[in-house]
Chain A
Amino acid sequence: MHMTFGESLLVSLFSMFIVFVVLVSILVLIQLFSKLLALGSTQSGSCKPVESEKRVQPAAPAPAAFVPGPELSTGELRLKNVDEKTAAMIMAIVSDESSIPLSELRFKSIKLIEEES
């Protein structure tokens, strides 16, 4: 069975219309969902922007490397058996690997883990 030009044109227009309808519907769903999330975070009393994935990902060294201690503000970094040059290098690498600007990262401490013999 073959289609005439008119039939294939109709099928094409109809199919193209459906493609647009589906993708525009997804667009609307994404926007609705994003707005709902933003609304939810505002209503929960948090004025912070939606927590970004980048922040959720472990951007800093593994938790085992952290030294428990009081909250430190940016700039108060505790170094243990690490010189400043190495610490600067580690922070730059973490920033580069996680694609988070250094100004947005907060390091609490950097400590050298002794290898077990």
Chain B
Amino acid sequence: MFIDALKSIWLESGFSVLTWQHLVMIAVACVLIYLAIVKKFEPLLLLPIAFGVLLANLPLADLMKKEIGDIQGGLLYYLYLGVKKGIYPSLIFLGIGCMTDFGPLISRPSSLIMGAGAQFGIFMAFIIANLLGFTPQEAASISIIGGADGPTAIYTTARLALDLLGPIAIAAYSYMALIPIIQPPIMRALTTKEEREVKMEQLREVSKLEKICFPIIVTIFCVLLLPSVAPLIGMLMLGNLFKESGVVDRLSDTAQNALMNIVTIFLGVTVGATANAENFLQPQTLAIIALGLLAFMFSTVGGLLIGKLMYKLSGGKINPLIGSAGVSAVPMAARVSQVVGQKANPSNYLLMHAMGPNVAGVIGSAVAAGILMALFG
């Protein structure tokens, strides 16, 4: 009797159906948790993602089980609908808009060209992914990792290649965390010491009216031109208008703090939960991770090359290092420009100058995603 009871408990437990694939994924989750807590690699996102990976790979927990008829689905399945329907990435963009100062970009609009150049990696990765046998939809989703913009990558993948969401989201956020390691060698290799030492002129002050009109103008222009980009650009600019208008401080505060934190939890856990053993432990995951790295590197190269071109055209007044910040990843990429610039010239302060290409990169990667969704959606 007692043995039968024990046997029954064992058979109904997850341990009885645990496979080596589950164990590998649990180990992956533990490594990600370690990186988030100990190494502090994008912990706000990596920790919920890692825990989502862990939850999804505990057999029989069925947290991602679909709702079928009257049978209830798992908790994460319902939360995941926000990812699937593109709600969370758009809400994250609302919060980012509230936190973003487009002043440096308005002050030096030529930063937009660097932001455009830094999308180069997306399209290089797109070509290579196609050569490797991915479908155009999958290639587009993988390549958007090069935009260094997590919400955009998730939004595009949810629209074009939902099955690849787990590996793409994990690759995108991991590389964003690794920007201080990935970018500096490329920046030093592509610039001379003389270029890195350039001290840039102070930015002009931007009027409040300019800052208020900017999100309105960009929304009207971008959404009319590329309607597919409306959820991302629309929310980004709405958030920015909340901030700049100065009349809805409560909304701005909620969007950039409470709402952003809530959505980050839902997004992180559910994206992590898509990385189950069956989907994740595939040869294509390695290809996605490699392509993501290539996309990041080529985007950095693209931004730097445009930066070098602008250095020449401006007669040496623009430091090409700020071009690498065009890969989005606000504000980390701008901080990397600052650090590398200051190593070449300790009295150099490039942070505010790099914020221009940095926020231009956010718009650039959203536009690139909009084009790919319009072509392959």
Q: A residues bordering B, Cβ < 8 Å?
A: 1-3, 5, 7-9, 11-13, 15-16, 18-20, 22-27, 29-31, 33-34, 37, 49-54, 56-57
Most chain B CB neighbours (cut-off 10 Å) among A15, A18, A51: A15
A12 touches B217 (CB 8 A): no
In the complex, A15 Cα to B135 Cα: how many Å?
Answer: 17
- Name 13 A/B residue pairs within 8 A (Cβ), A-sorted: A3-B130, A8-B139, A11-B126, A19-B367, A20-B113, A20-B116, A22-B222, A23-B115, A29-B221, A30-B109, A50-B209, A54-B205, A57-B246
Tell me how far the C-beta of A36 lies from the nearest C-beta in chain B, rounded to whole angstroms: 10
- What is the CA–CA distance of A11 and B226 in the complex, to the nearest angstrom? 16
Q: Which 9 A-B pairs have the closest CB atoms?
A: A12-B123, A52-B205, A8-B130, A53-B208, A23-B116, A50-B207, A23-B112, A27-B109, A30-B109
Residues of B within 8 A of A20 (CB): 113, 116
**Residues in chain A near residue B371, CB distance under 8 A:** 15, 18-19
Complex contact A52–B208 (CB within 8 A): yes
Instruction: Report the minimum CB–CB distance from B33 to chain A (whole Å).
Output: 37
Q: For chain A, what secondary structure do more than half of its interface residues adopt (helix, strand, loop), or is it mixed? A: helix
**How many whole Å from B200's CB to the nearest CB in chain A?**
18
Query: Is B213 in contact with chain A by the CB < 8 A criterion?
Result: yes
Produce 1/0 per residue, B89-112, CB < 8 A to A.
000000000000001011001101
Contacts A12-B123, A52-B205 given: A34-B372 contact, CB under 8 Å?
no
Residues of A within 8 A of B139 (CB): 3, 8
A1 touches B136 (CB 8 A): yes
Instruction: Tell me whether B131 and A33 are in contact (CB under 8 A).
Output: no
**Most chain B Cβ neighbours within 10 Å, of A3, A13, A18, A23:** A23
Chain B interface size band reads 35 or more
Write out the residue numbers on chain A whose beta carbons fall within 8 Å of the beta carbon of B324: none
Smallest CB separation, B202 vs chain A (Å): 12
B126 touches A12 (CB 8 A): yes
The chain A residue sitting closest to B106, CB to CB, is A30
Nearest-Cβ distance from residue A2 to partner chain B, whole angstroms: 6
Contacts of B135 in A (CB 8 A): 1-2
Most chain A CB within a 10 A radius of its CB, from B106, B123, B214, B225:
B123
Contact between chains at A5 and B130 (CB < 8 Å) = yes
